[in-house]
Each structure stands twice: as C-alpha cells, then as structure tokens.
Chains A and B, each alone.
Chain A
C-alpha cells in the first residue's frame, strides 16, 4: 500500500481552554484535489496549519508523507508547497530577489517555469514587493509555491484579492498541477464556484469538526432538495427520513434530505400519496443548508 500524502487521525487543537478543532480525520492521496469549505472561524486555517506542522496538535495525529507534520524532515518539506492567506513576502526585496531567496531552499527549483509564469501573470521581477498591489503580491506568493514542483500543494484562501482574470490564470495553474496524477492539492476558498470547478473531494469544516468529507460528486448526488406534492393535506407532524430541513404547507412540503435513494423515493411517495420531485443543489446551496 502506498503512503498517503497527508493523513490525520482524531486530530484536535485547543488554544487555552478553547477547542477549535476536534475529531478530525482525513486522508489525501495522489491525484486528489480537495476543496476545504467552512464559515469564517470554523477552523479551516487551523486545520491547514496543523497539516503543515506550523503548530502542534493538542490530540491525535497528522502526518505528511508518513512523517509527523510537526517534526517533518527536510526531504518531506521539499515536497510541500504552501500559499498562506496573508503573504509572507519581504517588502524591501524585488520580486527577482524574493524568488532567489525561496529558490535557494530547493534543489529542484524550476526557474524556467517561474519565468514563464511571471510573464503570463504580468509580474515585473524588477519591481520592489512593497510597491506591489495586494493582488500582485498574492500572485507572486502563489508562483513561489509552485517553483519547486511540490507533490502536495496547500493553499489557504489563495484568490481572495485576485481579479477575475488572475483568478482564471490561477485556476489554470491548478488544472496543470491536477493533470499530474502524482500530485495533490488542498485548497480552502470562499469562492464556491472555484471549488465546484476543480475539487474532486470536499471537506466541510463546521464548528471545529469535519462535517463532511468525501467525493464531491457524491455530495452533490447525496444532498438534494425534495419537493413534495400530495393529493391530500400533509400531516402537521410530517417527518421525512434523513431530512436536514423541512417546511410543510398544506399539500406541499419542501425538504433538504441527505443520502436520498430511489427506494426511499418510492417508499415516501407511496406512503404520503405524493408526487416527489428532486432538485439538485449547487454547492453554495448545500453549504447554506448545512448551516441553517
């Protein structure tokens, strides 16, 4: 069996008395593109930082390439690329110097790739970083995480300050990385449509726990909105199996259900003497429904 790129078991983190993450388990395999979704303060950044070993877990374990993240050997570190929410560029340096500093850490640095990407992204390498706009800095920060061709690319809200054009370029970069089945990407974003385009796995972080973890297509097929129309008034006490929410109004009812199957569909239809219609939900709707 191959070692997963990242694996966590019963991971927990507290800051003082406050538990910000609990019972988090996951695996990232080569070829995965994981979209991490959650409200502000749900624990996404903490989760990514634990994964990267920036902070020690309060319980459980998290590993990268089979090593404890918190004590990651250099060779394993060189296989990880990270784009933080707030860039860590050095203001006094020019972009070229900054690239040089980062490149010096990595034996496998791909100068030609970075040169090409700087041109594609309109980054003037002679410009000083402190003179750059937030968007330019963010683009540079993303490029710097790609230069050593990491096997595992982790990005924390990488596109927040990018204009639509730059965002598209960023997405294309991720497509390029994802086209290589030996690489994996984990990225958190509030831009749900980016996650919809690229992710094949979804993690939904809610109140410090991994509320959903799995195949994206399975999520879209599992959580659906159900429109019920009965030939007689529905009972006041109407309940539906696996319902996350339910609203009843006379002969009509609307519900969001989880793990809906053809068998349930038929069974409920017959029991309520009702027509049932399924509406697929966009990720944004699913996310909102899970937070009602």
Chain B
C-alpha cells in the first residue's frame, strides 16, 4: 500500500505522512478507506510502531484521517478537498526550480521556456490519449 524507504534521507514518518496525504488528496484512497492497524503496518515494513502511530495522530489532527472506536482508522470524508491547490503546488516547486536553473544555464529566456513547456505539455497529453496527466510523485 505504501512505499517506505528507511535508507532515504527523508525520515520514515514523513514519507508515510506525505504518501497518505497525497493519496487521500488525489482520491487514490477515497473517503472511508480503511488503513492497516498500527501493528500490522509496523510489522509489514519492520518499522517502529510509534512512527506509524505518530503519523496517524498527525493526520487525524489535520482532518485527513478519522479515528473509529474499536475499528481501523479511515480516510476522512473531507480529506479529498483538504489540500488546496496552493499546497499541492509546493510539490511542483523543486521541479520548477530545476527547470528554470537549466534554462538559465542554457541561456534561454522566460518566453522560450513557457513555449517549450506548452509544446511539451501538449505532446504529452496527446500521447496519453487526451487523458489528464497524472500528477507524478517526486520519485527520489
């Protein structure tokens, strides 16, 4: 269900936190989806149960998860709408930074980049049968 890399520089709790947030925001985990119990998730990834419980609590406080007495945690009803576009845009920022940097190193101006981006966008959309491009997670 989740991809956790203990060896990445990003703390495990943050990897899990961001994955659940993203999957709830995009609707990949629709409201009502049951999450694994703390113990099961900890055992499955051989990680500290406290890490999982910390993430669940943080997400509950954010309104992404709902605690149900005696039952598994679920994705909350309002979770999908929760992260505003401005919040999602934060995930784009590092990519934009890279793009602008590369463009400047190659001595392209703003207009060149905007045009190249538009062309590329259209090519990609055509390739994927006019389906909207899926947001890619920062794979690192």
Contact = CB atoms under 8 A, between A and B. Distances in A.
Contacts of B97: 275, 277
Interface residues of A, number: 30
Given A220-B9, A275-B101, A281-B9, A200 B50 contact: yes
A251 to B, nearest CB: 11
A122 interface: no
B43 interface: yes
B6 interface: yes
Given A172-B43, A179-B42, A275-B101, A197 B9 contact: no
A221 interface: yes
A84 interface: no
A176 to B, nearest CB: 8
Given A193-B6, A275-B101, A220 B11 contact: yes
What's the interface size class on B, roughly? 20 to 34
A62 to B, nearest CB: 25
Contacts of B82: none
B51 A175 contact: no
A285 B13 contact: no
Contacts of B6: 193, 196-197
Given A217-B11, A280-B10, A281-B9, A197 B46 contact: yes
Contacts of B101: 229, 275
Main secondary structure of the interface of B (DSSP, over half): helix
A253 B46 CA distance: 37
B31 interface: no
Nearest to A283: B7
B8 A282 contact: yes
B49 A221 contact: no
Contacts of B49: 175, 178-179
B124 interface: no
A86 to B, nearest CB: 25
B43 A282 contact: no
Interface of B: 6-14, 38-39, 42-43, 45-51, 97, 101
Interface of A: 31, 33, 168, 171-172, 175-176, 178-179, 181, 193, 196-200, 216-217, 220-221, 224, 229, 275, 277, 279-282, 284-285
